[in-house]
Copies of this chain bind each other. A is one copy, B any other.
Amino acid sequence: MKQVLSYIKKNKKGYVEELKDYLRIPSISTLAENKKDIEKCANFVAGKLKDAGLNKVEIFKTDGHPIVYGEWLDAKDKPTVLIYGHYDVQPVDPIDEWTNHPFEPVVKKGKIYARGANDNKGQNLVHIKSVEAYLKTVGSLPVNVKFIIEGEEEIGSQNLGKFLKKNNKMLKCDSVLISDTSMYGDGIPTINYGLRGLCYMEVEVVGPNRDLHSGSFGGGVANPINELAKIITKLHDKNGKVSVPNFYKNAKKITPKEKANYKKLNFSDASLAKELNVGALQGEAGYSTLERLSGRPTLDCNGIVGGFIGQGAKTVLPSKASAKISMRLVPNQDPKEIAKEFTKHVLSLAPKSVKLNVTEMHGGLAFLMDLDNPTIEAAARATTRAFGKETVFTREGGSIPIVVEFANILKAPIVLMGLGLDTDDIHSPNEHFSLKNFELGILSSVYFLDEISK
């Protein structure tokens, strides 16, 4: 272990340069124009796995973006850990609000700024470097290790599920390790035991067959923007509850044990409101903010557009308006069922004066682990060793739909060892990642491979 740790200490500056190279590749999975960058990024990851000393590295083509696989299986009679991450990133708009170019990484005050710094390039490079540190020093790992780094996480991991099913045997493992979540606070080692699911929809309201002059036609013809606003308004009731019928029917309730755990975390509403510069927080009546952010299902508009959006004024009654609307789900809510209920509900809200197009974009189930699972306990010991502090257990508000598939297909316990911070601006301008957490993350990974081998 000493050798491993001193190797990491000696090489940590180089790790940052490697991370920069990784971040320079604009691997935005949702944009067709970045398809070549996605391929370049898959090759980059495969190269890193080879350099780390894995026995076998392979890039698997899919119907979408490629999956990078790597393995080292020489630890006889030892358990196998499968490490998952994704090399694809979110779009960068609004690009004007970035202080550096999102694909030209900059280090400032111990943080690295770039799209993907936290989500997820920084967090998956951690595990590659941990494995490398073992293999370049002691020449072996305490357990068997398999890597899967995919390129479609930000667009719903459509092809990874198929890949898992098809390569079920190759991917057999005793636990799955994923760093794609947040720490509860800076310096507080955290194991996430739950994730929300997702159901992402698009609603288009179509009115007249062309844009109209709002003077000549205003008042006599339904306005798609106004009608869309009415529909969006009707998706919540006065108590902040989602109004889609049967939305909460199967939703797993927060248990008394979890309520107690939430309380123990001493979350400060005032601090969050101050940090976000809002006059008040807001959400579903009857729940604390932390419960609303992770234990309860929600509905948010992610985008809206219609009519004239340039500078100045244009007096138009637009032909159409549309909104992207996503729902975060909790265990036992089925995204397919929710999409159906949502579609039915939204269609029922439209007056005869407009037509609606409702599209299901992507979705994923929620995930929840038992807090007493031995793998979870081993992970908590590892992060406590690395950070020198008691590890806390949280539920995360975001979604990694594939986590549920890992659980269902590979039938292995899943460790969500988050190394990012909620303040890292992932999915936003100026995404960043703490280099301290990058380094302690490598140590956490090293200790986890050690703890899980015992």
Contact = CB atoms under 8 A, between A and B. Distances in A.
Interface centre among A213, A280, A300, A311 (most CB of B within 10 A): A300
A426 B215 CA distance: 11
A37 to B, nearest CB: 15
A324 to B, nearest CB: 6
Contacts of A316: 302-303, 427-428
Interface string A191-202: 000001010100
A200 B289 CA distance: 38
Interface in A191-242: 196, 198, 200, 207-223, 225-226, 228-230, 232-233, 235-236
A426 B315 CA distance: 10
Given A220-B292, A282-B222, A200 B315 contact: yes
A305 B314 CA distance: 14
Nearest to A353: B282
Contacts of A298: 218-219
Interface string A413-450: 00000000010011111100000000000000000000
B361 A313 contact: yes
B215 A196 contact: yes
Contacts of A323: 225
A385 B350 CA distance: 48
Copies in the complex: 2
A245 interface: no
A221 B279 CA distance: 10
A397 interface: yes
A79 interface: no
A93 interface: yes
Given A216-B397, A217-B293, A429-B210, A304 B305 contact: yes
Contacts of A90: 314
A286 interface: no
A60 interface: no
A19 to B, nearest CB: 21
A317 interface: yes
Q: Which 7 A-B pairs have the closest CB atoms?
A: A215-B398, A219-B298, A30-B312, A303-B307, A225-B301, A229-B232, A303-B308
